[in-house]
Structure 1
Amino acid sequence: MNKNKLLIVFGILFFSLSASAQQFSQYNTGTLYDSFENPSQRSFIPDSSRQYAFNFLIPNFNVNTYLTGNAQRTFKSKLFGSNSQYYTDNLQIGQGKYNHFNANINAYAIMFKLFSSFNGDVEIGFSAQTKAEARGLFSDESFALLNGTRNFPNDNYTNIFNDNYRYQAYHQISFSYRERVNKKIAVGFKISALLGIEYQEFNINHSQVTFDRTNPNNPSALLGLTGRYYANYIPGQRDARDYLPNLRNPGAAISFGLSYITDDRVTIQGNIKDLGFIHWSNRSATYDFNNSGMINNLGSQHFADTLYNRVRTIMQDNNNKTVKPLTTATNGLAELSATKSYWIGYGNTWKYSPTLIASKALFYPDFKGALVNHFNYRGLFTATLTTSYDDMHFFNIGTQLMIKSPNTEFYIGTERLTNTSKLAAAALHNNSQINQVGNYSGGDFYLGFTLKFGRVIEHPMNASIIPMGEKGFFGRLFGRLFKTSTNKGV
């Protein structure tokens, strides 16, 4: 990895891609991805769909990232600028200015589902995906240090580097089950085994720096940091094998959902997503650091590498190291949505389906609200316009294009159209976008493809062969509790 191409803040790599993103535009599309992320959602249509759905190992993924604050220009000038320099002139020193960073990735390598029983619309699925979750809070001064002493008029500063950062990545292998209990209620769940890849976290609660400018051509600094640093155990020199699934860091998670259709044909859906934990190896380390070290060659050509190595040494203080297992939570979500479809135009050629969504992170303050507008033409082409607002005061507009028949689906889109376009322009060396500092800089992109195969799931009155089966578990339980008939019309 080329560390000069990354912003390094106190020795931790600044990931441009990392960890479970909310993909509002997929809500109520009936795609295979939608059915795995929202467990009560169906992916098969009787009398139209074939019996099996598979992505044929073509990854279905979404990724998003953002950075707020004055450091946006610093970040973009280094990555996309013509001279690859850190621009730090707009950073404010000693003013307590911070920059929020958040990034997520969710990539399904395998998605497979089968329609197992007509009597209950039972769907069973298996999936394998990789996720990562990253967030951080970094001061303006942390970025300014990458450019040496030029932004620091004084020689001594206290508590200007009190940053925090958390990153974890893991594989997720899941079994999903979805059932229509009756004509109004559908339930589903996804249980997952988690296999941890990497975990890092630091919290700096005190910092101090003294600059030595005796040699103007080679200034140095005495940097002192106090806080706590966590890191999972990775044996030996890290290589590609460390990113393959293994049982070194096991965990588990569950998602479950319920859908209810009112008499007015409004579908209300509630989900708890990815509520789980990872138990990191008992050889993982916790460092309670209260340490200092000299950093030389401030602002030199390869100073980012120097800073990375030196600060990592300060944090990994072996005199205050505890080797013990770590248990961390996944980024669970609670979501509630409501949708209703309307036919538009002569011959019902257009269908409009608005969905209101509220989403709250279970262990963080994150809250988001969204309005998703699906415009479907003749049941094959769908254009989606999504607007969302969150507690960071970000207003976003997203778009999606989808081609979806009962047995084929392809979609591409972004939840942050404007900012993704600006970031793409900056990557193409558009100086106005490189120099721009708005609410945030970031991007979002997702892509998916699925095919269905096998026999057509035919209605019993028309079928020659059909897996009728019995009612599912929840249907039988519902029947016993409420004394309903064991035979459900379809």
Structure 2
Amino acid sequence: MLINCKTARCILLLTLAFAWAQPVAAQQFSLYGTGTLWDSFENPSQKAFELDISRQFASNFLFLNSGANANFSGPGKAAVKNSILYENGLSYTPLDVDSRQFNRFNVSTNNYLLMFRLLKTVKYQRELGFSWQTRAETQGILHNQALIIFKTRTDSSLNGVMQYLDRKGKDQLSTTDIEAQSYHQIGFTYKEQYNKRFSYGVKLSYLSGIAQNSLKVSSAELIPGTNTFNVDGDLKSSYNYHDIDRGYITPGFKNPGMSLSLSGNFKLKNGVYVLTNLKDIGFIRWSKNSYRNNESIDINPLGDSNDQLDYIQNSLVKQHYTTLINGKAEALVNKEIGFFKPSLLISKSLFNHSGDIVLINSYNYKALNLSVSGAYNLNEYYQFGAQVMLKSPNVEFFIGSDNILQSYTSTVLLTQNEESRKENFNEGIAGAAAYIGFALKFGRIVSHPQNENYIPGINHRMPGTGILHKLFGNRD
């Protein structure tokens, strides 16, 4: 994996940089159970149409429905921020190499480029949908020792290898486990109202992989008398950095995959609403032109970065492999109490440590919907969010953040002038999140049979308005 880097720290930060480079997008907790077009694609049993008031078709008309959720927890928050902002930022960051805490990070993106949905039948309220979205999923765990190894020698600090040798705790380099992948998801949804209290939905998707990087260290030992580590683990990359072009971005069949979402919701007699999801269970098969190394290699983090990366590149062999996407199991419970609707959402990733427990409070006044949320993630961080939505039967617009306080703090830290940033050198970035969306319904209003004022063949169109009539006139 060859890339031009000025310092060896890029080896460790490579996957982090891949994650931060993605467009902004997130889980959007406050949109669960809102009946928006986004909600109907993320939770396929959710209806997007209301009989007698909604028009038959709904779309975002290529308006990007997007958001971002990036979180970092652990003692290395300031170190990662400084590595992004400064050439030798890590060298000035105090890190406890004997700490029992681990650094965990999670970055997820979900961008709907196109959404189209229609109400197919009034009976059973069957809805069909098509969507095209791009997603990115990054998660990882690493110890402070994995960060200080890439510290460089300065007048005020020893290099990270010496600090590693002086540690009192055990070797924690083997805890390093980082993965990032991005892909297109082209989905088809079907929803049916089985009876008055229960509806179900299915989303079947074709996946087209864009890029994948992962690093899993099983052991790392310092070779005596040197600054070189013998690292044993599994390194994967779906591409060579020399060969990146537009062909990697467009969807195709080079890196194919499939995913399935199953969803059901229940309305209990006491008014309690329950939504359950088994969401995005799937895989991507990366092509035979991908790269992998699952053998031990020697790395000198204080050596020339280009030489090190050349060495790593030469150790890789072309090989196809398969990765899972971030499937989840979810449950939402809420109840409307007048204009107020409290909700409890539990969302657990099936293939990694991440998971969220969320409390959502929504307030409705006519077309205005305001929501506030509080979430605890199993990676040991909290989020506080807010959302503003304008929603009528046929138009919807929303903007919000799942992590509004940290988003503001991170924006301030990253946009300050250089002098101000140096004053806040040991303040870390814990996370950021934002999202925005729009959708519009069009076509005729779909009604219950007893309220229907549309009769096919009679008021389908006005006489004399057909295309053939306009071209050839009346028939004899």
1:51–1:455 Cα contact (<8 Å) kept: yes
After TM superposition, the structure 1 = structure 2 runs for residues 139-154 of structure 1, keeping only pairs within 5 Å, are 139-149=143-153, 150-152=158-160, 154=162
Identify the match of residue 353 of structure 1 among 317, 337, 341: 341
2:152–2:302 Cα contact (<8 Å) kept: no
CA distance in 2, matches of 1:237, 1:315: 16
Cα 1:236–1:140 shift into 2, 3 Å:
closer
State yes or no: 1:383 paired with 2:370. yes
2:15–2:179 Cα contact (<8 Å) kept: no
1:316: Cα distance to partner? Answer: 4.4
Between 1:390-399 and 1:415-424, the stretch displaced more is: 390-399
What CA RMSD, in Å, does the superposition of the two structures yield over aligned residues? 2.9
State yes or no: 1:392 paired with 2:375. no
CA distance in 1, matches of 2:111, 2:102: 30
Cα 1:260–1:86 shift into 2, 3 Å:
same
1:314: Cα distance to partner? Answer: 4.9
SS of 2:360 mapped into structure 1: strand
**Deviation by residue 1:173-205 (Cα, 9 ceiling, x = unmatched):** 010111111111111111000111112222112
Between 1:161-170 and 1:48-57, the stretch displaced more is: 161-170
> In the alignment, what sits opposite 1:90?
94
1:88–1:143 Cα contact (<8 Å) kept: no
TM-score of the aligned structures, taking structure 2 as reference length: 0.84
* Percent identity of equivalent pairs: 30
Cα 1:315–1:245 shift into 2, 3 Å:
same
- The letter of the residue matching 2:198 is I
> In the alignment, what sits opposite 2:285?
279
State yes or no: 1:457 paired with 2:450. no
1:388: Cα distance to partner? Answer: 1.4
1:3–1:13 Cα contact (<8 Å) kept: no
> In the alignment, what sits opposite 1:365?
353
- The letter of the residue matching 2:186 is I
**Deviation by residue 1:378-398 (Cα, 9 ceiling, x = unmatched):** 2x0000011111222322211
- The letter of the residue matching 1:70 is P
> In the alignment, what sits opposite 2:470?
none
CA distance in 1, matches of 2:365, 2:185: 35
Cα 1:21–1:362 shift into 2, 3 Å:
farther
**Deviation by residue 1:258-281 (Cα, 9 ceiling, x = unmatched):** 111111121111111101111111
Matched positions, count: 438
After TM superposition, the structure 1 = structure 2 runs for residues 379-458 of structure 1, keeping only pairs within 5 Å, are 380-429=367-416, 431=421, 435-437=426-428, 441-458=430-447
Identify, as 1 or 2, the structure richer in strand.
1
CA distance in 2, matches of 1:237, 1:322: 16
> In the alignment, what sits opposite 2:459?
none
State yes or no: 1:221 paired with 2:208. no
> In the alignment, what sits opposite 1:110?
114
1:279–1:327 Cα contact (<8 Å) kept: yes
The answer for unaligned runs of 5 or more in structure 2 is: 457-476
1:129–1:173 Cα contact (<8 Å) kept: yes
Cα 1:184–1:75 shift into 2, 3 Å:
same
**Deviation by residue 1:293-349 (Cα, 9 ceiling, x = unmatched):** 44556xxxxxxxx53x4554454453xx55432121111101111111111xxxxxx
1:59: Cα distance to partner? Answer: 0.9
Cα 1:11–1:402 shift into 2, 3 Å:
closer
CA distance in 2, matches of 1:311, 1:204: 17
1:435: Cα distance to partner? Answer: 2.9
Between 1:20-29 and 1:229-238, the stretch displaced more is: 229-238
1:373–1:385 Cα contact (<8 Å) kept: yes
Cα 1:415–1:5 shift into 2, 3 Å:
farther
1:245: Cα distance to partner? Answer: 0.7
CA distance in 2, matches of 1:228, 1:43: 44
TM-score of the aligned structures, taking structure 1 as reference length: 0.82
1:54–1:451 Cα contact (<8 Å) kept: yes
> In the alignment, what sits opposite 1:200?
213
1:62: Cα distance to partner? Answer: 2.2
State yes or no: 1:255 paired with 2:268. no
Identify the match of residue 326 of structure 2 among 327, 331, 348: 331
CA distance in 1, matches of 2:310, 2:260: 38
1:282–1:323 Cα contact (<8 Å) kept: yes
1:132: Cα distance to partner? Answer: 1.1
> In the alignment, what sits opposite 1:13?
15
Between 1:182-191 and 1:421-430, the stretch displaced more is: 421-430
CA distance in 2, matches of 1:409, 1:423: 29
